[in-house]
Amino acid sequence: MSQTERLVLMAEDELTQYSTDARKIERLRRKIGISVPPAQQKQVKEELLAEMPDNFLGKLVEEQRQTVALPFWGIAGLGLLFGISLRQPVDFLAPAIAFPIAFNLQKWGWRLQAKRLVINTLEEIENGVKSGNSETNK
């Protein structure tokens, strides 16, 4: 497992906690500071920035993953409901198609959000180092 993947997994763990972004960044900042050397932090940040989508759909899924996936969950539920109530096997195609789409959209958004959290944390660390260096030079 690469360093980047490990950091994204740590960020996913932080996303499960109900707290503000600032607290998540602060907790993740400690973990990254201990486990990743500064030179490698820049490399990881550049790698993550290259992986982040810059198109409209990617940004929308990152910010509103549940809203984007909701229509597919609805289609899957209605297909299941109609398939059972009307006894039409063809109606079971909707859940077979919509469930994986909705699940993968949610999963993609979750990964993008975790990557963004790592990027924000690495930027906070850089800003802290820069401000710390400027204060010691005074």
Percent of the chain with pLDDT over 90: 57
Q: In the structure encoding, which two tokens stand for residue 31, read together? A: 């973990």
Q: Find, among 45, 101, 36, 114, the residue nearest to 73 by Cα.
A: 101
Which 3 state secondary structure label does DSSP give 19?
A: coil
Per the model's pLDDT, the better-predicted residue between 116 and 85 turns out to be 116
pLDDT over 60 (residue 137): no
Q: What is the DSSP letter of 1?
A: -
Give the domain ranges of the chain: 3-136
pLDDT for position 128: 76
